[in-house]
Every structure is written in structure tokens, then in C-alpha cells.
Chain A
Amino acid sequence: KQEVTQIPAALSVPEGENLVLNCSFTDSAIYNLQWFRQDPGKGLTSLLLIQSSQREQTSGRLNASLDKSSGRSTLYIAASQPGDSATYLCAVAGGTSYGKLTFGQGTILTVHP
């Protein structure tokens, strides 16, 4: 059974810092890995999706990497801003033709001015 772990559970940083969120998974037979953002009381917003054949994806100040063999992904946020404060969720899709997602418990990020 796939298990996804996110470290740290919570992170508080001053504005402007570069930061890294970690995600690990136990079964390397994945189809893709998605990073989501969730604001309090809101739904999930997809940030980046990395296919199993890819090593990284970039969108603006966000960069996500994937090392399938070691079962790890990182989300790098450059020059953090208070508006980045949210919960960040990592989810992996199993190696089947449809992508049932297994989620980590998330990292709560607070960026203070």
C-alpha cells in the first residue's frame, strides 16, 4: 500500500527566504506526482504535476523535482511571500491507467512579513 509522508509538518519563515518542502513515497511504481496548495477552508489548487518520466517541473517561483528511484520529491519556493502562506499537499498517482491519488498530510507554511 502506497504511503506518502511530508516533512516538515509545519514551517514558519520570514519573507524573502527560499525554502524546500519534502515529500517521500514508499512505492516507486507511480504514474505522476502532484503538488497542491490549499488555503484555509478552501479547495485544492494544483501547482505542479511531474510525470514519472520527468525529473522536474517549474512554474514561476516554484520548482518541483522527482527522484522516483529513491521515492522522493521536493517543492522549492524561491523568494517566499506572505501570500504563499497555505498548506501544501503532495499526492502520487498509482501506476494504473487512471490516477487514484494517495496524499500526504501536508506542510503548513507560514511566511511572515
Chain B
Amino acid sequence: NAGVTQTPKFRVLKTGQSMTLLCAQDMNHEYMYWYRQDPGMGLRLIHYSVGEGTTAKGEVPDGYNVSRLKKQNFLLGLESAAPSQTSVYFCASQRQGGSYEQYFGPGTRLTVT
């Protein structure tokens, strides 16, 4: 099992460019999450999904869109990148029921210049 994987690992964008971050999990988990981590701010929830075809806003959703067309994939899109979106992005997945433990990917380091 690869667990939770994220693509790409690093990316540099110019202001106004767009990109999509891919999260994939092979654990057949129902729930998936996108967080961002900034110095002094901790991790904050951007968007989440409780199943294929569903998405919902988290704490800091502005400037991001998401899609969950397949159960194993959760995509995070930036339509027009801004320097304030420079951050490390983490994806996580979680099984429905049980302990609700979240499993995290290795992260994507994004710099917007």
C-alpha cells in the first residue's frame, strides 16, 4: 500500500497562474481533506469530501476549488495563484467509522512569486 500520495512535491508559480494538486489514496477511504500549513498558523482545513462526488468548504476555502470525481482521488485547484497561497499543502484521508484516524500525505510545497 502506498497510503496517501501527493503530486507534485514542489512547485513554483507566478501570480495569476493556475495549477492542480493531486491527492491519491489506496485505502478505499470515504473521507478526504486538504489542509495548508503556514508558519505560526498551524494546519488549517481548506476543503473536504465525505464521499465520491461530494465536496464541502473548510476554514480557509477562498481562492481554491476541489473535485472528487473518483473515490481514490481528491484534486485541489488554484485558478489564479496569489502570493498569499504560498504554503505547504497536505492531503489526508480517513475511513468511515472506527477510530476516524486521519492519514496524511507527504505534502506539496508551493511558492507563488
Contacts and interface: CB of A to CB of B under 8 A. Distances in A.
- What does DSSP make chain B's interface, helix, strand, loop or mixed? strand
B25 to A, nearest CB: 13
Contacts, number: 59
Interface residues of B, number: 25
A46 B103 contact: yes
A99 B40 contact: no
B100 A93 contact: yes
A112 interface: no
B13 interface: no
- The number of chain A residues touching the other chain, given as a range, is 20 to 34
Interface of A: 4, 31-32, 34, 36, 42-46, 49, 51, 89, 91, 93, 98-106
Interface of B: 31, 33, 35, 40-45, 48, 50, 58, 90, 92, 94, 96, 99-107
Q: Across chains A and B, which 7 residue pairs bring their CB atoms closest together, nearest first?
A: A99-B100, A44-B104, A43-B106, A103-B43, A103-B42, A105-B42, A43-B104
